Structure 1
Amino acid sequence: MGGYVRTLVLLAALTAVFGGLGFMIAGQQGMVIALLVAAGMNLFAWWNSDRIVLRMHNAQPIGPGDAPRLYQMTEQLAARAGLPMPALYVIHEEQPNAFATGRSPSNAAVAVNSGLLDLMSEREVAGVIAHELAHIRNRDTLIMTVTATVAGAISMLANFGMIFGSMNRDRNQSPFGPIGMILMLVLAPIAAAIVQMAISRSREYEADRVGAEIAGDPLGLASALQRLDHYAHAIQNHGAEATPATAHMFIVNPLSGARMDNLFSTHPRTQNRVAALEALAARMGQGGGGLSAPAAAPGPWGAGRRRNPWG
């Protein structure tokens, strides 16, 4: 129940930002309209945000025939976590990364980039999948997905406000005038980013811990995080760059840092996450191992463009 309460608090905060934008665009009347739109959007996002985010990234569903080893691994890890098998999706992006979505464990989904399957070892992929299952078990996915949807709408409203203001300079209804419009364009996305940052960092540490326990291999996840962080700087994630409001959903920040979107990072420093996992491994008395031995070579797993079933 706590996850639902946090989600409601978050929605209230983002709705307030939305209403403030409406006020800056067209005064009190604009605020009322914005709040009504936000109320309808929140209700829609509560039930449909997972499908919206998957569609944003052109995620394609995959089954056991498409990637048998990945499907079997996810099924095994879900059983360890006490979860039903989530739906699996692949996103055709060369940057290795992944995220989870869904209102609840019963309708959850895990989406992996094809780069994850092509570039990472079996042990590392197991750590990534376990991390995403931890988000599902902790019921983080609803709040993360709704945040992505509403934060994206706030950015869109800010852009609309600039267009509205330029078309109505002579009879500008904004109580702050042109300067207010400029401030709105800059501050609204920042406000949404701060909200995202506030909810994401602690959740990533907890998902690392729970995911490492699910897979039984903290060092496998630590290795995955280090390689994911490297590839995130070396390979551009085109879908994430086009929809930066969803960046906080991925296991590592998918943005290249070439834009201001990286100014307020929604993820903890990878080095800190790795250190926490190494400390957990020491407490568990393990130096590796876990779910399965590392693969001799990474991918392909059968869900990427080459369609060569892994195993």
Structure 2
Amino acid sequence: MGRRTLAVLIGLFVLAGYLVAASLGYLLLATIVAGRPDPAVLVTALVLGTVLSGYFSYRFGTVGLLRSLDARALPRGRAPGIHRRVDRLVERMDLDRPDLLVASLGAPNALALGSSRRGALVLDVWLFQLLDGNELTGILAHELAHLENDDGLVRAMVYATVQTLVGVALVVAAPVALALTGIGRGLVWITGRPDNLALRIRAAIGAVVGLGVFLVTAFARSRSRRREFAADDRAAEVTGDPLALARALRKIERASMPRIGPFRIPVERDEHPLERILSTHPPTDERVERLAERAKGRRVPVERGDDRRSPAPARNR
């Protein structure tokens, strides 16, 4: 009898705690509604907050990422051929010339940071040994295409919008979810039964909110994959050599495989559908296939005489 009484008291305490929290959330929403804010003003405030959040995330995130990469400027004197390739590509595209940096990224890769008017290209040092001149030009053109379309800024805005939508959904659903959680857990202690209607309704609400978060996240990731395809297409258009970019993508993929001694070991695995949906990049096979289709029936120009010296800038000692 003593344990039963204690369980009931705990259940009532849990119920009261959650109901107080739910009441506070409800009072906050009721206060906002009672103020009868102009819907246009409310929407404008949300949009403005989203834009500012996305912009500052993009601006400070870019600076922070550059610092974390320890990227260093690549002087023209150390790699004149690379600089000439960037110069030629920029002349064919609608963007200002970005800063050219090198870093040790841990794997052959290239990053485009910033915007079309104030950008930076970060190249991993191993790219210069892995790729030939035309392949490197394809990778440069792909990254410049991201800058040309301000993909970094747009991506930050998309994710800020996702965060705003999720935040609004959580604020609206929180009082109800807290109340149902308190009722459900309180009844578990009071009745001794592990399940009840309140907990099932709470789980259903959580599933709906989770599905909404998943859908908006999947939309944002699908846009990222489309922008990768668009950058591939733009690079192929500017260079006139889709196959060079395809070869570069394949080499980068192989160089990123696990290594045992001097050998790269291909990893065969079935990609889960959720991995595909939530990936920011499309599969390399699909990108290579699209580029190969673009190359059919085209004459491919070959750039010769590229002087590629060591890209590693001298460190201050």
**TM score, norm. by length of structure 1:** 0.59
Distance 1:187 1:170 in 2: 23
Q: Show the counterpart of 1:84.
A: 96
Distance 1:145 1:294 in 2: 36
Q: Show the counterpart of 2:228.
A: 204
Distance 2:183 2:63 in 1: 41
* 1:288-307 map, 5 Å: 289=302, 291-292=303-304, 301-302=311-312
> 8 Å contact 1:121–1:299 — kept in the other structure?
no
Distance 1:99 1:154 in 2: 29
Return closer, same or farther for 1:202/1:134 CA change in 2, 3 Å cut-off. same
Give yes or no for the alignment of 1:45 onto 2:69.
Answer: no
1:65 aligned to 60, 67, 75, which one?
Answer: 75
Distance 2:161 2:102 in 1: 24
> 8 Å contact 1:193–1:264 — kept in the other structure?
yes
Is the partner of 2:134 in helix, strand or coil?
Answer: helix
2:278 aligned to 244, 249, 264, which one?
Answer: 264
1:214 aligned to 232, 238, 250, which one?
Answer: 238
Q: Identity of aligned pairs, percent?
A: 23
Return closer, same or farther for 1:153/1:121 CA change in 2, 3 Å cut-off. farther
**Root-mean-square deviation (Å):** 4.8
Distance 2:65 2:74 in 1: 24
Give yes or no for the alignment of 1:136 onto 2:160.
Answer: no
Return closer, same or farther for 1:149/1:40 CA change in 2, 3 Å cut-off. closer
Return closer, same or farther for 1:145/1:71 CA change in 2, 3 Å cut-off. farther
Q: Deviations over 1:36-93 (max 9, x none)?
A: 7885353142255044145246244543428534334323321232432112344432
* 1:160-309 map, 5 Å: 177=202, 187=211, 190-234=214-258, 264-286=278-300, 289=302, 291-292=303-304, 301-302=311-312
Is the partner of 2:296 in helix, strand or coil?
Answer: helix
Report the alpha carbon displacement of residue 96 of structure 1 after superposing the two structures with TM: 1.7
Letter in 1 for 2:141: A
> 8 Å contact 2:125–2:312 — kept in the other structure?
no
Structure with the greater alpha carbon radius of gyration: 2
Report the alpha carbon displacement of residue 199 of structure 1 after superposing the two structures with TM: 1.3
Q: Deviations over 1:87-125 (max 9, x none)?
A: 23444322122232334x212222333443453333322
Return closer, same or farther for 1:221/1:152 CA change in 2, 3 Å cut-off. farther
Letter in 2 for 1:280: R
> 8 Å contact 1:93–1:115 — kept in the other structure?
no
The alignment of Structure 1 onto Structure 2 pairs a total of residues equal to 250
Q: Show the counterpart of 2:64.
A: 55
Return closer, same or farther for 1:195/1:224 CA change in 2, 3 Å cut-off. same
> 8 Å contact 1:219–1:277 — kept in the other structure?
yes
Distance 1:190 1:230 in 2: 31
Distance 1:171 1:87 in 2: 59
Is the partner of 2:121 in helix, strand or coil?
Answer: strand
Distance 1:188 1:56 in 2: 30
1:119 aligned to 103, 126, 130, which one?
Answer: 130
Distance 2:133 2:73 in 1: 18
Return closer, same or farther for 1:92/1:217 CA change in 2, 3 Å cut-off. same
> 8 Å contact 1:77–1:214 — kept in the other structure?
yes
> 8 Å contact 2:142–2:234 — kept in the other structure?
yes
Report the alpha carbon displacement of residue 134 of structure 1 after superposing the two structures with TM: 1.6
> 8 Å contact 1:118–1:299 — kept in the other structure?
no
> 8 Å contact 2:102–2:125 — kept in the other structure?
yes
Q: Show the counterpart of 1:10.
A: none
> 8 Å contact 1:96–1:117 — kept in the other structure?
no
Distance 2:65 2:163 in 1: 11
Q: Show the counterpart of 2:262.
A: none
Is the partner of 1:284 in helix, strand or coil?
Answer: coil
Return closer, same or farther for 1:209/1:152 CA change in 2, 3 Å cut-off. same
Is the partner of 1:283 in helix, strand or coil?
Answer: coil
Report the alpha carbon displacement of residue 271 of structure 1 after superposing the two structures with TM: 2.1
**TM score, norm. by length of structure 2:** 0.58
| Structure 1 unaligned blocks of 5 or more | 1-22, 159-164, 236-256
Letter in 2 for 1:202: R
